[in-house]
Structure 1
Amino acid sequence: MLLQAPAEPIRTRPIHVDDATTPRRLTLRVMAAAPRYSVPAAVLSITHQVGEALVPVLMGLAIERAVSSGDLGQLLLWLGLLAADFALLSFSWRFGSRLGELGMLAVQHRLRTLVTEHLLLRASGARRASNQPGVALSLATSDVNRLSAAVEIGVYPVGQFAAVLFGGSVLLAISWPLGIAVLIGAPLLLWLTERAGRTLRTRSGDEQEAAAVAAGQAADLMAGYRVIRGIGAEAEASSRYRQTSQSALASTLLARRAEGVFGGTMDVASGLFLTGVAVAAGLSAITGGLGVGELIAVVGLAQFLIDPLQYAARNAGGLWASAMASSTRLLALLREVGPDATSVTRSRRSAARGIGLVAEGEVVGVAADGAEAEAVIAALEEAHPDALAAPHEAHLFTGTVWQNVALPTVDAARARAALTAAGCDELIELLPQGWDSPVGENGSTLSGGQRQRVALARALAQDAPVLVLNDPTTAVDAVTEAAIADRLRQARAGRRTVVVTHSPALLAIADRVVRIDRTEPRTEAAS
Structure 2
Amino acid sequence: MIRMLLRVLGHQHSRPIRRTLALMVSAAVAEGLAYALLVPVLRALFGDTPADARPWLGAFGAAVAACAALRYAGDLAGFRVGTALLRGVYHRLGDHLARLPLGWYGPARVGEVSVLAGQGVLRAMSVVAHLLGPYVSAAVTPLTIVAVVLALHWQLGLVALAAVPVVAAIQLLTGRATAAEDAGRAARDREATGRVVEYVQAQPVLRAGGRTTERFRLLDESLRQVGRASRRSTLSALPGALGLTLTVQTVFSALLALGAYRALDGGIGAAELLTVLVLTARCADPLLSLADLGGALRGARGELARLDEVLRTEPLPEPAEPVRPAGHGIEVASVTFRHGGHTVFDGLTLSVPEGRRLGVVGPSGAGKSTLLHLLARFHDVDAGAVRVGGADVRALATADLMARFAIVFQDVYLFDGTIEDNVRLGRPGATAAEVREAAAAARLDEVVERLPDGWATPVGEGGARLSGGERQRVSIARALLKDAPIVLLDEVTSALDPVNEAAVHAGVERLMRGRTVVMVAHRLRTVQHADRIVFLDAGRVVEEGTHDELLRRGGRYAHFWHLTAEPMPRG
TM-score by length of 2: 0.70
Q: In 2, Cα distance between the equivalents of 1:226 and 1:449? A: 19
Q: In 2, Cα distance between the equivalents of 1:496 and 1:352? A: 23
Mapped contact 2:473–2:504 kept (Cα < 8 A): no
Q: 2:485 pairs with 466, 469, 472, which one?
A: 466
Correspondence for 2:32? 53
Q: In 2, Cα distance between the equivalents of 1:391 and 1:318? A: 46
Deviations 1:213-255 (A, max 9, x none): 1212333444565566567676778332232233223323433
Q: 2:64 pairs with 60, 83, 86, which one?
A: 86
Correspondence for 1:209? 187
Q: In 1, Cα distance between the equivalents of 2:95 and 2:435? A: 36
Comparing 273-282 and 412-421, the one that deviates more: 412-421
Q: In 2, Cα distance between the equivalents of 1:185 and 1:44? A: 26
Correspondence for 1:19? none
Q: 2:404 pairs with 342, 367, 387, which one?
A: 387
Deviations 1:444-477 (A, max 9, x none): 44455543443333323x1615252443637843
Structure 2 residue 430 is the aligned partner of structure 1 residue 409: yes
Correspondence for 2:350? 354
Shift of 1:514: 4.4
Q: In 2, Cα distance between the equivalents of 1:345 and 1:145? A: 46
Mapped contact 2:348–2:539 kept (Cα < 8 A): no
Indicate how the Cα distance of structure 1 residues 106 and 417 shifts in structure 2: closer, same or farther if over 3 A, else same: closer
Q: In 2, Cα distance between the equivalents of 1:414 and 1:119? A: 29
- The within-5 A match list for 1:140-219 is 140-143=117-120, 157-219=135-197
How many residue pairs match? The answer is 497
- The within-5 A match list for 1:291-330 is 291-316=269-294, 318-320=296-298, 323-324=301-302, 327=305
Q: In 1, Cα distance between the equivalents of 2:297 and 2:278? A: 29
Mapped contact 1:465–1:495 kept (Cα < 8 A): no
Q: In 2, Cα distance between the equivalents of 1:332 and 1:78? A: 56
Correspondence for 1:133? 110
Correspondence for 2:551? none
TM-score by length of 1: 0.75
Q: Which has the higher strand share?
A: 2
Correspondence for 1:456? 476
Q: Any idea what SS the aligned residue of 2:350 has?
A: helix
Comparing 295-304 and 112-121, the one that deviates more: 112-121
Q: Any idea what SS the aligned residue of 2:102 has?
A: coil
Shift of 1:376: 1.7
Q: 2:233 pairs with 220, 230, 255, which one?
A: 255
Q: 2:49 pairs with 57, 70, 74, which one?
A: 70
Q: In 1, Cα distance between the equivalents of 2:445 and 2:521? A: 22
Correspondence for 1:36? 15
Greater radius of gyration (CA): 2
Mapped contact 1:190–1:313 kept (Cα < 8 A): no
Give the number of the structure with larger relative contact order, counting CA–CA contacts within 8 Å between residues 6 or more apart.
1
Task: Report the RMSD for the aligned CA atoms in angstroms.
Answer: 4.7
Mapped contact 1:160–1:312 kept (Cα < 8 A): yes
Mapped contact 1:366–1:501 kept (Cα < 8 A): yes
Comparing 420-429 and 302-311, the one that deviates more: 420-429
Structure 2 residue 405 is the aligned partner of structure 1 residue 377: no
Shift of 1:302: 1.0
Q: Any idea what SS the aligned residue of 1:513 has?
A: strand
Q: In 2, Cα distance between the equivalents of 1:144 and 1:174? A: 46
Correspondence for 2:552? none
Structure 2 residue 359 is the aligned partner of structure 1 residue 365: yes
Mapped contact 1:274–1:305 kept (Cα < 8 A): no
Mapped contact 1:423–1:480 kept (Cα < 8 A): no
Mapped contact 1:210–1:247 kept (Cα < 8 A): yes
One-letter amino acid of the counterpart of residue 464, structure 1:
D
Mapped contact 2:376–2:405 kept (Cα < 8 A): no
- Consecutive unaligned residues of structure 1, counting only runs of 5 or more, are 1-11, 16-25
Indicate how the Cα distance of structure 1 residues 188 and 138 shifts in structure 2: closer, same or farther if over 3 A, else same: same
Q: 2:502 pairs with 480, 483, 486, which one?
A: 483
One-letter amino acid of the counterpart of residue 374, structure 2:
A
Indicate how the Cα distance of structure 1 residues 42 and 159 shifts in structure 2: closer, same or farther if over 3 A, else same: farther
Correspondence for 2:520? 501
Mapped contact 2:111–2:194 kept (Cα < 8 A): yes
Q: In 1, Cα distance between the equivalents of 2:360 and 2:254? A: 80
Shift of 1:103: 6.1
Mapped contact 1:405–1:454 kept (Cα < 8 A): yes
Indicate how the Cα distance of structure 1 residues 82 and 316 shifts in structure 2: closer, same or farther if over 3 A, else same: same
Q: In 2, Cα distance between the equivalents of 1:446 and 1:286? A: 88
Mapped contact 2:174–2:239 kept (Cα < 8 A): no
Mapped contact 1:470–1:501 kept (Cα < 8 A): yes
Mapped contact 1:178–1:277 kept (Cα < 8 A): yes
Q: In 2, Cα distance between the equivalents of 1:223 and 1:380? A: 38
One-letter amino acid of the counterpart of residue 487, structure 1:
A
Q: Which has the higher helix share?
A: 1
Mapped contact 2:28–2:136 kept (Cα < 8 A): no
Structure 2 residue 532 is the aligned partner of structure 1 residue 512: yes
Indicate how the Cα distance of structure 1 residues 251 and 282 shifts in structure 2: closer, same or farther if over 3 A, else same: same
Correspondence for 2:568? none
Q: In 1, Cα distance between the equivalents of 2:489 and 2:255? A: 73
One-letter amino acid of the counterpart of residue 492, structure 2:
T
Deviations 1:379-429 (A, max 9, x none): 586679653423646553443334533776254586376267356746766
Q: In 2, Cα distance between the equivalents of 1:185 and 1:345? A: 69
